[in-house]
Structure 1
Amino acid sequence: MTKYVVVSGGVISGIGKGIIASSTGLLLETLGLTVTSIKIDPYLNIDAGTLSPLDHGEVYVLDDGGEVDLDLGNYERYLELTLTRDNNITTGKIYKNVIERERRGDYLGKTVQVVPHITNEIQEWIERVSKKPTSKSGRIPDVCIIELGGTVGDIESAPFVEALRQFQFRIGNGNFCLIHVSLVPVVGVVGEQKTKPTQASVRDLRGLGLTPDILACRSSIPFEEGIREKLSMFSQVPEENVFSVHDCKSLYHVPILLKNQGIIDVLKKKLNIDTSSIPPELSVEGTALWEQWEEFARRRARDLETIKIAFVGKYTYLTDSYISYVKSLEHASLNCNRNVEILWIESADIEQHTLDENPTKYHEAWEKLCSAQGIIVAGGFGDRGIEGKINASKWAREHKIPYLGICLGLQIAVLDFARNVLGIKDAQSAEFEPETANPFVVYMPEIDRNNMGGTMRLGSRPSKFIDSHYSRNSKMFKLYNSEEIIYERHRHRYEVNPERVEILEKNGLKFVARDAETGNRMEILELDDHPFFVGTQYHPEFLTRPLKPSPPYLGLVLAASGQLDEYLKGK
């Protein structure tokens, strides 16, 4: 029978439930268990697709095109899973299903209520998803990690808390474990740790019918003497089940921190996990996984040479808007024995109007750009900051700085080239100027223009390196291990105008890969006579893994650190 580990949060949001949930899943995998995960988001949206990155952080895209919470990215990266849109539950999805069933008459005329109909729908959804074979092993999961978004006491999460309260009895005590993540703040001049917020949070949780089995206490420092005992006494959680999750050198150290404090033994005891029944080959594989993880985490803590990457985007005031980009750079740099320093640049800050309005901000932004060893221009929507992104592409192209343009960043490279190399000064994207006379980027004809949610070109799509001498000798072809067809995840409404491709390629901007379905969509561009000038229409950051970095990001880091030519010699 599948076991369930629920991770809830108290005191404040954004406390790190996703990392602790992912870390717990990773540790269970090292025992040879098959693990899956579910994220519950209590908002009314059907999915995260229409949410602003500045409001909710990055919109993470899955293979099946699901636009979901960024925590599912953590699960995929930590657990080496390929999840589906069903692994993300929202209030909108639950209510939509219940209302559709009511309209069909499935409830036989009964009054439809939050209890039992909404709570039953939640429980049935959890059981259905948790029993799907995983992409990694093809087996039914032994353990399902469920992260309950938000904070205990939030009104919108009440139906989910009630559903989980019922669920623990539905599956039996030995199959259910609740980890409550709370805050132990450090206050005062002397830096005293305070336990009252956690005590109050646990009291609220108990009042809702859920009793924590494990406390994961976030703090800037390790437990002071007596804190664990005090938390145990007032929260009625055994001392050995109270864990200090203090600030680490990196998030990759969190699984190590939990393991060293004995969380595996606690989980095995609570969930009645007998590892002697796990086939030896799976256990050995788990051991190798843990050794690789420890080595990766140790590398993150070393004093490696640092490279500077300028990150030019529209939502840089909230770096969670680009969390997968950050992870991709981390994974690539550590696999190159480098550390990366990201220089965040709001794209509007390197535009002419900023020089007129705030010269200091303008010069500071350009100083960052000029000092970087590599440049990323990120994806995004809308026309704000577009000219700044074009300026960044032009700087990278003219000064031979390694460049990686993602989605909109590829389209930006095309506009820069058309304007500043071909001399077509009014070259434009139909996204920003629908009636432009020179549309180098156009709206995809099959895309729904009226509905915003879930209507883009989404999910995993095949791209094919074209059969030409230039393509088969391109840097990107070699970085992808000379695979003719690659699968990456997409999220876009606009594409390079196929009618303008010929003039671009004649002048040195080469499209080395196109979509495998029609051959008419430009997927990867490279520039002649440049150390590394690459654009991808897809989002390669969604498939990065700690032990298997994304090829485009790896290429950027290798080029920025002067290692790319040597690396490609072996390809």
Structure 2
Amino acid sequence: MGSSDAKQTKYIIVSGGVISGIGKGIIASSTGLLLKTLGLTVTSIKIDPYLNIDAGTLSPLDHGEVFVLDDGGEVDLDLGNYERYLNVTLTRDNNITTGKIYREVIDKERRGDYLGKTVQVVPHITNAIQDWVERVGSVPTENGRVPDVCIVELGGTVGDIESAPFIEAMRQFQFRVGHDNFCLIHVSLVPVVGAVGEQKTKPTQASVRDLRGLGLSPDILACRSAIPFAEGIREKLSMFCQVSPKQVFSVHDCESLYHVPILLQQQGIIDVLNDRLKLKDLVISTERRAEGDSLWAQWREFARRRARDLDEVTIAIVGKYTYLTDSYISVVKALEHAALNINRKVKLSWVEASDLEEGSKHKDPLKYHEAWQHMCAADGILVPGGFGERGVEGKVLAAKWAREHNVPYLGICLGLQVAVIEFARNVCGMPNAHSTEFRENCDEPVVVFMPEIDRTTMGGTMRLGSRPTKFQDSEFARQSKIKQLYAGADEVHERHRHRYEVNPEKVSAFEAKGLHFVGRDAETGERMEILELANHPYYVAAQYHPEYLTRPLNPSPPFLGLLLAASGQLDAYLAGQDVTHDVDMKLKM
């Protein structure tokens, strides 16, 4: 541990202007990754200015997927980016919402902590925000080191009413921690308009003017645009936004998001951060610097591999939010990581589950036939998690197709449950089999409500967070593909987010017909966590969400198995053969 750990944590604030969804999370993650390549310890915070306590009750169509942390926190998808890029394990405290802040302040007021004072946005709300940021920024990471740098992403757009208390809190915070410990990156849009594709700087100028009017001056401008800066754009932004040209960065559309850190590094962002935050004054051990150098070499190789012309593997994702792919962003990343680690490129075929159903054949025959065409042409099928009845029968049909036609299948959460429903109906002679989530009084309840879950409230009441799954001591389980993919582990820890489970009373009937529950919860052995079908190339499903723990060069085993099977390499991989050819790297971050 270097002596820098005893010093004041340095803070990098990432704000956004002009439009929302501009890519603040990727800029923040990429900056954090680059700091890690220097051997620094980095953590992150995401501020969401909505009044919800957490993201648990938000629709994926409104806000993208809900990402689940080890401690059960349901948070914004950007925290998934942070965990994947920085290889850190975050907690619910790393996600601040307006609801959390106001609840904390109101609880204090009810206890009498403010001693009769009038409780106001300034100073009480703004102080609570600063206290929270400083508290989380000084919590040691899993390696025991206090973070050298904490990156704080301020959600929303400068000028939003709901963001105002957080902007004011950060204005005060810059003086609280000191000039050398505070850096502001402002992410803005430089649109390309007109027939000749002219880049316009006025939106960024206006956004910076608004920011400065609120008492914050950007130290770095990260300008999003479809194309690299045209001649003179950087100088123009420098002149009107009062920053030097070297502090203006072109973050144009590139080959993949994995290239963004390389793009920023090539333009000199590390030098700017070094100067602004006096990073060279930090004492970093030789060992940590060597780890940083190794990380950077591995990341560049991974990005290079992403750009290569690799053989494609087509995976059909059968879901109910397919027209907003951010609803399944961790699933997409897990597939991509698994594919690139076996020298393949994954091609996603999005299939709306309800379009597979017989009713769609008459209501919209074109969508029906297109959906089935996509699924039939896929090398593998994935049914992700989800809530609500819409599309469930389509997912059951996808599981049936995969089982009957020996197509590699991976089911996640609801994807496990529909596989059980399908097997019960079509193999075990239970034609009315269903889940009590969708048919409360069904004749054959093969999926049931978990007894200890609170039915009265929605937020934070599911089985959430990291739980242990124990592989069973049966002949089939010991030789199962999924256990081998987990390197023969007897127990694995994965993150959960569900309310319903396979009915344990029906398990023996399923296993007698070849559907084996090779993994069960380690606490009671009554919850079915992993299933695998006998005599099938790869038919695996998990009640947990393995996509939450995927890393770029350390892919999730169930996803790796799906891609290996879909590319015809699973048997060779399980036999110990090298299927990565010229690539053989393990990421150590």
TM-score by length of 2: 0.96
Shift of 1:570: 1.6
Matched, 1:517 2:527: no
Superposed, 1:166-565 pairs within 5 Å as 166-274=172-280, 277-565=283-571
Q: Measure, in 2, the Cα distance between the counterparts of 1:196 and 1:365.
A: 44
User: How many Å apart are 1:317 and its aligned residue?
Assistant: 1.1
The residue number in structure 1 matching 2:132 is 125
Q: Partners of 1:314 and 1:525 in 2: how far apart?
A: 23
Q: Deviations over 1:200-243 (max 9, x none)?
A: 00000001100000000000000000000000000001100000
CA distance 1:410–1:61, change in 2 (3 Å): same
Q: Is the partner of 1:277 in helix, strand or coil?
A: coil
- Matching residue within 130, 140, 148 for 2:146: 140
Structure 1's unaligned 5+ residue stretches are: none
The CA deviation at 1:423 is 2.3
Alpha-carbon separation, structure 1, partners of 2:162 and 2:465 = 29
Taking structure 1 as reference, are residues 253 and 389 closer, same or farther at Cα in structure 2, changes over 3 Å only? same
SS of the residue corresponding to residue 156 of structure 1 reads: coil
Instruction: Determine which of 18, 26, 32 is the counterpart of 1:25.
Output: 32
Q: Deviations over 1:323-356 (max 9, x none)?
A: 0000000000000100001000110010011111
Q: Secondary structure at the match of 1:155?
A: coil
Partner of 1:63: 70
Deviations for 1:514-559, whole angstroms, at most 9, x for unmatched residues? Answer: 0000000000000011000000000000000001000000000000
Which residue type is aligned with residue 89 of structure 2? T
Runs of 4+ in structure 1 off by over 4 angstroms are none
Q: Contact 1:66/1:85 (CA < 8 Å) preserved in 2?
A: yes
Pick one of 113, 123, 140 that aligns with 2:120: 113
Alpha-carbon distance between aligned partners in 2 of 1:397 and 1:286, rounded to the nearest angstrom: 45
Show CA shifts across 1:19-42 (max 9, x none).
Answer: 000000000010010000000000
SS in 1 for 2:163: helix
Q: Are 1:91 and 2:98 an aligned pair?
A: yes
Describe the superposition over 1:367-394 as per-residue Cα deviations: whole angstroms up to 9, x where unpaired: 0000000000011111111100000000
Alpha-carbon distance in 2 for matches of 1:411, 1:25: 38
**2-structure distance, mates of 1:497, 1:566:** 35
Does structure 2 retain, via aligned residues, the 8 Å contact 1:11–1:183?
A: yes
Alignment of 1:65-80 (within 5 A): 65-80=72-87
For residues 319 and 276 of structure 1, what CA distance do their matches in structure 2 show? Answer: 41
Shift of 1:275: 6.2
Distance 1:218 1:472 in 2: 51
Distance 1:399 1:353 in 2: 23
**Aligned residues of 1:38 and 1:144 also touching (Cα < 8 A):** yes
Instruction: Give the Cα–Cα distance (whole angstroms) in 1 for the partners of residues 468 and 268 of structure 2.
Output: 44
- Find the aligned partners of 1:564 and 1:437 in 2 and give their Cα distance: 39
Counterpart Cα distance in 1 of 2:224 and 2:241: 15
| Residue 422 of structure 1, CA deviation | 1.4
Partner of 2:4: none
Q: Give me the whole-angstrom Cα distance separating, in 2, the residues matched to 1:420 and 1:507.
A: 11
Q: Secondary structure at the match of 1:329?
A: helix
CA distance in 1, matches of 2:436, 2:561: 30
2:46 alignment partner, one of 16, 39, 50:
39
Structure 1 pair 276/52, CA: closer, same or farther in 2 (3 Å)?
closer
What is the CA deviation profile of residues 450-508 of structure 1, one whole-angstrom value per residue up to 9, with x for unaligned ones? 10000000000000001111101000100000010100000000000000000000000
**Separation in structure 2 between the aligned mates of residue 376 and residue 138 of structure 1, nearest angstrom:** 38
Work out the CA distance in 2 between the residues paired with 1:409 and 1:530: 17
**Pairing partner for 1:101 from 97, 108, 133:** 108
CA–CA distance in structure 1, aligned partners of residues 459 and 576 of structure 2: 44
Letter in 1 for 2:438: F
| CA distance in structure 1 between the partners assigned to 2:483 and 2:539 by the alignment | 14
Which letter does structure 2 place at the counterpart of 1:68?
Answer: V
SS in 2 for 1:25: helix
Measure the CA separation in 2 of the matches of 1:422 and 1:346: 27
Give the distance between the partners of 2:444 and 2:282, measured in 1 at CA.
67
Amino acid at match of 1:306: E
The aligned amino acid for 2:122 is V
- For 2:257 and 2:513, the matched residues in 1 are separated by 45
The structural deviation recorded for 1:132 is: 0.4
Structure-2 separation of matches of 1:298 and 1:203 = 38
Distance 2:533 2:41 in 1: 44
Letter in 2 for 1:549: P
Residues in 1 aligned to 2:116 and 2:436: alpha-carbon distance in whole angstroms: 51
Following TM superposition, by how much is the alpha carbon of 1:277 offset from its aligned partner in structure 2, in angstroms?
A: 2.3
Question: Which whole-Å CA distance do the structure 1 matches of 2:333 and 2:72 have between them?
Answer: 21
3-state secondary structure, aligned to 2:12? strand
1:6 corresponds to which of 10, 13, 24? 13
Q: How many residues align?
A: 570
Structure 2, gaps ≥5 residues long: 1-7, 578-589
RMSD: 0.7
Residues 75-124 of structure 1 deviation map (CA, whole Å, 9 limit, x = unaligned): 00000000000000000000000000000000000000000000000000
Contact 1:31/1:275, CA 8 A, preserved across alignment: no
Q: Distance in 2 between matches of 1:476 and 1:317?
A: 31
Is the CA contact 1:393–1:412 (under 8 Å) kept in the aligned structure 2?
A: yes
* Deviation at residue 276 of structure 1 after TM alignment: 7.0
Do 1:331 and 1:544's aligned partners in 2 also have CA atoms closer than 8 Å? yes
Q: What does residue 583 of structure 2 align with? A: none
Q: Aligned partners of 2:45, 2:242: CA distance in 1, in Å?
A: 27
Separation in 1, partners of 2:308, 2:350: 23
What's the % identity of the aligned pairs? 73
Q: Distance in 1 between matches of 2:487 and 2:77?
A: 29
Q: Separation in 2 of the partners of 1:468 and 1:392? A: 29
Q: Give 2:575's aligned amino acid.
A: K
Quote how far apart the aligned CAs of 1:138 are.
Answer: 1.4
Q: Does the aligned pair in 2 maintain the 1:30–1:286 contact within 8 Å?
A: yes
